[in-house]
Each structure stands twice: as structure tokens, then as C-alpha cells.
């Protein structure tokens, strides 16, 4: 990244309203951040949490921390006070923020809070990357839907081999993809591994990251800013399609609208191709691995059955479908999807048991279920994990069930994921009451939100007399999903 910025100093790197930051200015900003962090006593293997808005400065300070060989921890917006304190308690030495709010100081504990401002940026040095390959480079914490956020760790070796960040090793396929990122819409959070993955494609290919001044309104923002590339959740794609049905918007500049994060029905993908065009792509990946496969309109034109898939494995990604014993299965047979990449996680932060469960001899168990067809397209048919994906965020059923069952009027709680056109999936909770009095549904949702965050609150709550069981005597969640045709009583 540093080499690319220095080789093309006059091309815009970021555009934020009337403000243009060219690559040479961004490189200087990285140097100032590097000097400021070093002056604060930060260096190799030190934990540095980044808590900034989506700005050139926020990106620069993260790169500067990597220059020094730090372990960078991104703080995702929306963490509860307890979750934030947990993340910052994971051997974090300093927090860099552009919003030094009291709650952050309280959660930081012994960690030093550094404000991203003139004092931090007053000195300058030439940034020279010093990270050691086997040192942890990045810890991406999950949404906290398990109750406690889980840290996915990448070392500098994985970062060096990352498919989008290592431009000298780009394949023809990757270079063709990167060329679509002339104007990449950058919004949301810089703590997202997915955002960083595609921001790299933009900057390393000479593109400009375009930051909207306000919370973007889709699809208007795409038309007004002449965006060529953007990341979309399934819910946002539905929003765009609804808007296009009411009013025309000029999306002719779009080249790469990547929809990912949760299942997308084939008929909705077909509608997107009809309304928007071949710019719409479907991607599949995980925080632990980055993008694993990509499906384009051209793939579907070549092979109609591909519309039911998530595409072919991406360059540098090996995919195998295996049985319960870890043995490869033939094409067309469902099993667990295992993947191998040069840029997969090193493990989970301070969680050797989970690391051993997911990492096996260089392979990553995705815990997703599916099969490869004879043409090499990957079809997903389920998840081995009991999770619900709402707006591209994983929510584990267990913690939600436990939170609901903590109410004195609830005897048992069971959560399932149900397809939803707006959010990809929706959380449906089924309750067996402890007595005759039914608790207020809003109160139950507040109970879950207080413990796990508002996004984990069930969209639908139903009371059942008893829970259907499988032949093995376990709760039959497939039967519970069948109840979704019955309207919610309250």
C-alpha cells in the first residue's frame, strides 16, 4: 500500500464532499500517524484499538499501526458497554479515537486513549513497514451475538498473502475485478474486514474511495456520486429494487455491486440483473477467510443452474466438501464446506479450543453445508452452526434463547432463522411459558437487546404449548420454522 501511494502521488485516494485527498497527502498522513503512535510508545505486537469514523485519517492511523507492527483491533459500532469493555480488555495498550466520549474512557480501563487530532499528527516520519510475519496483525471481533465478541486473528503472513492487498500477485481475474473499483462507495465502518478487503482493491488499482457526507440514501447516492463499486447487504439490495420500481435512477456508472452476507433468493438476483444490469454480483465469504466465491451475470448466462449457487471459488481458494469424518465427497453430494487460502485466520484470540475446532491442517471449516456441482460452482444448502444472519450479521441462537428464558414467565425458548426479503433472514422465537400469564413481547425484545444488542431482538415471538421433537428427542427446529406461516399473535 505504501509503495502504491508513493508511486502515484497526485491521483485522488479519498473524496469526501469537496475534500480531495491525493495519494501523496495520504502517505504523508500515514507518516504523521506513524510518528504519533511511536511517540506514544507503541510498537511491535502492542494492541491498538481503532475507534474512528470513516475518514482518510481513520484509514491512515490503521495503516500506521500496521507499519509499526502493532496488533490492530477494530471497534465495530454498536457494541454494548459490556462488550466494548471486553474487547478493550484483551491486552489493548491504546485506543485511537476521533470521538473521545466518556463511555470510551470508562471502557478503556488501563488502556491509554489517544485523540486523532493535531497533537497526535504534529510530527512526521517516512513510514517503513516493520511487521514480523508470524506476529498478530489484525483482530476482527464479531458482532457479539454470542454474548461475548469473538476475536478472529490474522498474522502479518496472512495479510501479506491477502488476495486483494497483494497487488503484485494479482491474477488476471483479480485485476479485471479491481478495474471496476474506479469510484468505490466507502461507508459504514473501517473495522469491517470485508470493507478493508475491497477498499484495498480500489486504492491499489488507482481508484478513489468516495465517502458520502451523510448516511447514504440508496439508490440515490449511487447515481449522484457516479459510484462504480459498492458493497451491499441483501436488505439494501431489496431497498434499491423497491426504489427503482417507484422512480428511475441512473446507475449506468455501476460496474461492481457486490451483494453478500446472507442468502439471496435466485429470483431476486434475476430481478436485480433485469433492473440494474450485470454490475450486480453475489459473493460468499467469511470474516475468517475473506471472499471465497463470486457469481456474476455472465456465469448465469453460461450456465443457468449457477443462479442457485454462490459462484465459483475465487482465485487462490481451494474448496472441498467433506463428510462428518473429514473425507472429501463427490460432486453433487452435500457436506460441510472446507476451504484453504493463504489469507485465512491464524486462530481465535485466546480461544485455543475454538481455534482447534475450526482450523485443521491448514484448512478452515466454514461450518456451512453445501456441495460443488460438476462445473465447479458452490451451492450452499444450510449451516452447520445454529445461527441467524440478519442484515449480514451473525446472531447465534443459543444466547438469544438464554436471554429469553431468563424472563420469569418463560420456561423454554427456541430461536430459528426464517428467510426475509428485507433482512436476508429474521429471528423468530418460540416460547413455552412457565405459567398462564404471557409476557409483553416488547419487554422480551428489550431483554434481548439489553444483553446482546438491538439487532439480536426477535422480529417475531410466538407462544407454543410444546416444542416438537425429532426422533432423537431433540427440539425439531425445522418443524418450528414451519410455524412461520401462522401470523404472530401479538
Per-residue pLDDT tens over the stretch 190-216: 999 999 999 999 999 999 999 999 999
Give this prediction's pTM: 0.85
Q: Is 237 exposed, middle or buried (0-12, 13-18, 19+ CB in 10 A)?
A: buried
The CA distance from 400 to 406, in Å, is: 10
> Among 196-210, 250-264, 296-310, 463-477, where is mean pLDDT lowest?
463-477
**Is the confidence at residue 398, as pLDDT, over 60?**
yes
Q: Is 284 exposed, middle or buried (0-12, 13-18, 19+ CB in 10 A)?
A: buried
Per-residue pLDDT tens over the stretch 405-452: 889 999 888 999 999 988 999 999 999 998 889 999 999 999 999 999
> Among 100-109, 239-248, 335-344, 478-487, where is mean pLDDT lowest?
478-487
Per-residue pLDDT tens over the stretch 260-278: 987 787 888 999 999 999 9
Say what the pLDDT of residue 474 is.
Answer: 65
Measure the CA dihedral 100/104/109/113, to 10°: -20
**280 is written with which cell numbers?**
450486480
The mean pLDDT of the chain is: 93
Confidence of residue 471 (pLDDT cuts 50, 70, 90): low
C-alpha 460, offset from chain centre: 25
**240 is written with which cell numbers?**
434499491
- pLDDT > 70: what percent of the chain? 96
Say what the pLDDT of residue 369 is.
Answer: 86
Say what the pLDDT of residue 15 is.
Answer: 98
Say what the pLDDT of residue 135 is.
Answer: 98
Structural domains for the chain: 2-160 (3.40.50.12780), 183-383 (3.40.50.12780), 387-485 (3.30.300.30)
The continuous run of DSSP H or E covering 367 comes out as: strand 363-372
Say what the pLDDT of residue 381 is.
Answer: 79
Say what the pLDDT of residue 150 is.
Answer: 86
319-329 mean pLDDT: 96
Q: State the pairing for strand pair 312-313/378-383.
A: unpaired
> Among 181-185, 186-190, 358-362, 366-370, where is mean pLDDT lowest?
366-370
Say what the pLDDT of residue 191 is.
Answer: 93
Say what the pLDDT of residue 274 is.
Answer: 97
**Is the confidence at residue 490, as pLDDT, over 60?**
no
Per-residue pLDDT tens over the stretch 122-170: 999 999 999 999 999 999 987 655 567 889 999 999 999 999 999 999 9
Query: Would you list the DSSP string of 391-436?
Result: TTEEEEHHHHHHHHHTSTTEEEEEEEEEEETTTEEEEEEEEEESSS
Amino acid at each position: 500500500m505504501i509503495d502504491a501511494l508513493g508511486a502515484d502521488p497526485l491521483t485522488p485516494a479519498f473524496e469526501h464532499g469537496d475534500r480531495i485527498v491525493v495519494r501523496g497527502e495520504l502517505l504523508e498522513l500515514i507518516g504523521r500517524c506513524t510518528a504519533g503512535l511511536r511517540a506514544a510508545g507503541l510498537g511491535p505486537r502492542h494492541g491498538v484499538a481503532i475507534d474512528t469514523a470513516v475518514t482518510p485519517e481513520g484509514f491512515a492511523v490503521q495503516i500506521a499501526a500496521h507499519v509499526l507492527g502493532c496488533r490492530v483491533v477494530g471497534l465495530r459500532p454498536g457494541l454494548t458497554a459490556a462488550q466494548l469493555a471486553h474487547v478493550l480488555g484483551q491486552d489493548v495498550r491504546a485506543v485511537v479515537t476521533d470521538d473521545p466520549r466518556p463511555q470510551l474512557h470508562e471502557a478503556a480501563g488501563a488502556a491509554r486513549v489517544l485523540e486523532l487530532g493535531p497533537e497526535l499528527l504534529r510530527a512526521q516520519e517516512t513510514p517503513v513497514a516493520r511487521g514480523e510475519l508470524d506476529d498478530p496483525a489484525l483482530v476482527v471481533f464479531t458482532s457479539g451475538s454470542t454474548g461475548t465478541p469473538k476475536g478472529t486473528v490474522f498474522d502479518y503472513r496472512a495479510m501479506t498473502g491477502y488476495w486483494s492487498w497483494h497487488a503484485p500477485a494479482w491474477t488476471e481475474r483479480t485485476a479485471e475485478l479491481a478495474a471496476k473499483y474506479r469510484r468505490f462507495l466507502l461507508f459504514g465502518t473501517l473495522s469491517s474486514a470485508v470493507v478493508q478487503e475491497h477498499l484495498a482493491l480500489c486504492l491499489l488499482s488507482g481508484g478513489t474511495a468516495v465517502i458520502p457526507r451523510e448516511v447514504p440514501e440508496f439508490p440515490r447516492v449511487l447515481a449522484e456520486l457516479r459510484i462504480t463499486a459498492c458493497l451491499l447487504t441483501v436488505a439494501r439490495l431489496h431497498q434499491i429494487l423497491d426504489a427503482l420500481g417507484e422512480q428511475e435512477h441512473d446507475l449506468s456508472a455501476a460496474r461492481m455491486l457486490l451483494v453478500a452476507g446472507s442468502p439471496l433468493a435466485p429470483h431476486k438476483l434475476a430481478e436485480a440483473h433485469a433492473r440494474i444490469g450485470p454490475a450486480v454480483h453475489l459473493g460468499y465469504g467469511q470474516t475468517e477467510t475473506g471472499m471465497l466465491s463470486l457469481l456474476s451475470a455472465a456465469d448465469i448466462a453460461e450456465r443457468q443452474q449457477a443462479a442457485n449457487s454462490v459462484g465459483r471459488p475465487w482465485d487462490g481458494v481451494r474448496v472441498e466438501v467433506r463428510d462428518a469424518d473429514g473425507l472429501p465427497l463427490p460432486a453433487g453430494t452435500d457436506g460441510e464446506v472446507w476451504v484453504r487460502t493463504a489469507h485465512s485466520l491464524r486462530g481465535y484470540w485466546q480461544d485455543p479450543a475454538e481455534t482447534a475446532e475450526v482450523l485443521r491442517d491448514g484448512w478452515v471449516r466454514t461450518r456451512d453445508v453445501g456441495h460443488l456441482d460438476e462445473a465447479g460452482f458452490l451451492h450452499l444448502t444450510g449451516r452447520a452452526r445454529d445461527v441467524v444472519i440478519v442484515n449480514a450479521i451473525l446472531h447465534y441462537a443459543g444466547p438469544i434463547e438464554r436471554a429469553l428464558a431468563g424472563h420469569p414467565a418463560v420456561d423454554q425458548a427456541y430461536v430459528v432463522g426464517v428467510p426475509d426479503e428485507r433482512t436476508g433472514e429474521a429471528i423468530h422465537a418460540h416460547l413455552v411459558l412457565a405459567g398462564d400469564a404471557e409476557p409483553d413481547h416488547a419487554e422480551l425484545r428489550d431483554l434481548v437487546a439489553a444483553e446482546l444488542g438491538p439487532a439480536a431482538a426477535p422480529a417475531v415471538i410466538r407462544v407454543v404449548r410444546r416444542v416438537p421433537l425429532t426422533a432423537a428427542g431433540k427440539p425439531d427446529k425445522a418443524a418450528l420454522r414451519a410455524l412461520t406461516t401462522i401470523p404472530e399473535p401479538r
